């Protein structure tokens, strides 16, 4: 039994494996509880699923109670028949399972204790009172059916410390938060209609984390492909951060951050196995591809072909799918780069005009540089107005261009905490309106009509994201131009 502790489960992986059993049992509610008490701390998972009879519970407590080759119900989230025991023992030296079924009227409980096994030198599955499950026992007693799994002797999560050890307590709470994020990610499709399951952690509802931002209008859902009757691929390109609120952008980054969560998302019966990976298809996770996320849906009958591991955290596509998945990945990655680098393109296409960018990319002798767009209306107006000596203004622009900190910008984006700001993020609305008015005047001076000036404002970098301010900002200027 001790050897089963070295299977590589993280705390979130282990809790997720228990939740798989709850979902397979038809639970409508799943309660997670982390109770801090130093060495006596406990972690429990309680559900209101069908529950188990005494004989079913004894069978479930056996190691390897099901073969991975055994035919399963299509909704079964299990894999090797190891999850309950292996996941639990990976985190705790003792696990107690209590369960009851409708109509039986009584609960039954069994316990594995590694210290007891070491003492007696025999595989003794302990018969214990159902209330010995500790945290969660009171709610379990109120249910007519369900299962409570409780871990104690948390040597890996807590160790031998007292309840007053603040550092150990903080690490315990960090584990709670990691589990909450993991559950929100892995089971997000079970938390929404139809037939949503309610998840709770220490009494607080867990909200789903949708990696595809499906409810955000700027998200691009590309054409889905059916690789065979059982495997479906749906590509998504997420919006540029300037099209999202700061909170939405932060949350969308996921537990591991934007870069880590790009790539394929492999689901098995709606349960997320792989939260963003290029699946060994020859692609590298890079900053400018971070908006590419691709959903793959599998049934549990293809576990062997996709090399699903015991922790249900890895998958590898069969050879017959690899070329198709590479083709899809290339197309989605290119679309993601377009959004990442040229967020004004979609507006420009819709209006049939070129966007007015502040910076222009220039390549000379295989060297890339960035220069201020001399055709930008504000730059043109400043150069032509005579309010500033033209020569000095050109020198200032050249100085700015020569010292753009390209390398530092790249480092900040690639290694930072996703804190890149959108243009005018910190600007007051008044400042944006002043800029719109200045641009409008420049367009009118250049000979554009009012309608043409409004269209050009709509495709001018930064202003294109603030459509609602354009017409009110220039309303009085229109009257002035008409009277002139």
Largest CA distance in the chain: 101
Give CA angle at 440 (435, 443), nearest 5°. 130
**436, 457 contact by CB (below 8 A):** yes
Q: Which residues contact 57 (CB under 8 A, 6 or more apart)?
A: 97, 99, 108, 109, 110
pLDDT of residue 480: 57
pLDDT recorded at residue 451: 84
Counting Cα atoms < 13 Å in the Cβ hemisphere of 348 gives 13
Averages of pLDDT over runs of 10 residues in the chain (484 residues) are 75 96 96 97 97 94 62 52 81 96 89 94 91 83 95 95 97 98 98 96 98 94 89 95 90 95 96 96 93 95 86 85 95 91 44 58 70 76 71 78 70 55 68 84 83 78 64 74 50
Q: Domain boundaries in the chain?
A: 2-205, 220-341, 359-483
pTM for this entry = 0.71
Q: What is the pLDDT of residue 70?
A: 57
Sign, CA dihedral 251-254-258-262, equals negative
pLDDT digits (tens, 9 = 90+) for 278-297: 999 999 999 889 999 999 99
pLDDT for residue 130: 87
Beta-ladder partners of 98? 109, 148
Q: What is the model's pLDDT at position 353? A: 45
**In the prediction, which pLDDT does 426 show?**
63
Neighbours of 113 (CB within 10 A): 21
Residue 250's pLDDT is: 94
The rounded mean pLDDT for the chain is: 84
Cis previous bond, 194, omega within 30: yes
pLDDT of residue 313: 73
Residue 72 to residue 470: CA distance in whole angstroms? 60
Q: Note the pLDDT of residue 359.
A: 74
Of 317, 357, 341, 324, the closest CA to residue 237 belongs to: 341
Topology classification of domain 2-205: Heat Shock Protein 90 (3.30.565)
Question: How many other C-beta atoms are found inside a 10 Å radius of the C-beta of residue 442?
Answer: 21
């Amino acid at each position: 039994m001790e050897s089963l502790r070295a299977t590589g489960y993280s705390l979130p992986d282990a809790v997720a494996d228990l939740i798989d059993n709850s979902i397979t049992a038809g639970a409508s509610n799943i309660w997670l509880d982390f109770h801090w008490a130093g060495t006596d701390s406990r972690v429990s998972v309680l559900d209101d699923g069908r529950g188990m009879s005494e004989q079913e519970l004894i069978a479930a407590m056996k190691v390897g109670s099901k073969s991975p080759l055994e035919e399963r119900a299509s909704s079964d989230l299990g894999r090797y028949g190891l999850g309950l025991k292996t996941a639990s023992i990976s985190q705790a030296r003792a696990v107690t399972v209590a369960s009851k079924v409708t109509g039986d009227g009584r609960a039954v409980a069994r316990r594995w204790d590694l210290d007891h096994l070491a003492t007696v030198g025999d595989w003794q599955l302990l018969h214990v009172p159902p209330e010995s499950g500790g945290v969660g026992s009171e709610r379990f007693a109120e249910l007519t059916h369900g299962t409570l799994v409780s871990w104690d002797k948390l040597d890996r999560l807590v160790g031998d410390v007292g309840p007053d050890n603040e550092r150990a307590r903080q690490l315990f709470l960090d584990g709670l938060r990691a589990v909450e994020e993991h559950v929100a990610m892995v089971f997000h499709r079970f938390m929404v209609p139809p037939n949503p399951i309610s998840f709770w952690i220490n009494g607080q509802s867990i909200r789903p984390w949708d990696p595809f931002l499906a409810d955000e209008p700027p998200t691009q859902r590309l054409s889905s492909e059916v690789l065979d009757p059982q495997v479906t691929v749906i590509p998504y390109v997420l919006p540029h951060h300037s099209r999202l609120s700061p909170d939405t952008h932060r949350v969308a980054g996921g537990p591991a951050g934007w870069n880590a969560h790009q790539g394929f998302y492999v689901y098995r019966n709606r349960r997320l196995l792989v939260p963003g990976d290029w699946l060994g298809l020859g692609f590298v996770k890079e900053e400018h591809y971070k908006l590419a996320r691709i959903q793959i849906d599998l049934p549990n009958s293809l576990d062997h072909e996709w090399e699903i591991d015991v922790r249900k955290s890895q998958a590898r596509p069969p050879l017959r799918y690899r070329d198709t998945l590479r083709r899809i990945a290339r197309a989605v990655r290119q679309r993601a780069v377009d959004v990442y680098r040229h967020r004004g393109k979609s507006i420009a296409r819709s209006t049939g005009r070129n966007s007015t960018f502040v910076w222009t990319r220039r390549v000379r002798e295989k060297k890339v540089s960035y220069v201020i767009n001399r055709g930008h209306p504000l730059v043109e107006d400043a150069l032509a107005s005579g309010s500033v000596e033209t020569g000095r203004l050109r020198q200032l622009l050249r100085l700015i261009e020569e010292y753009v900190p390209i390398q530092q910008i790249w480092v900040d984006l690639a290694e930072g905490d996703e804190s890149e700001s959108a243009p005018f993020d910190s600007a007051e609305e008044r400042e944006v309106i002043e800029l719109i008015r200045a641009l409008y005047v420049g367009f009118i001076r250049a000979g554009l009509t009012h309608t043409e000036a409004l269209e050009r404002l709509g495709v001018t970098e930064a202003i294109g994201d603030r459509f609602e301010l354009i017409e009110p900002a220039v309303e009085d200027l229109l009257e002035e131009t008409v009277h002139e």
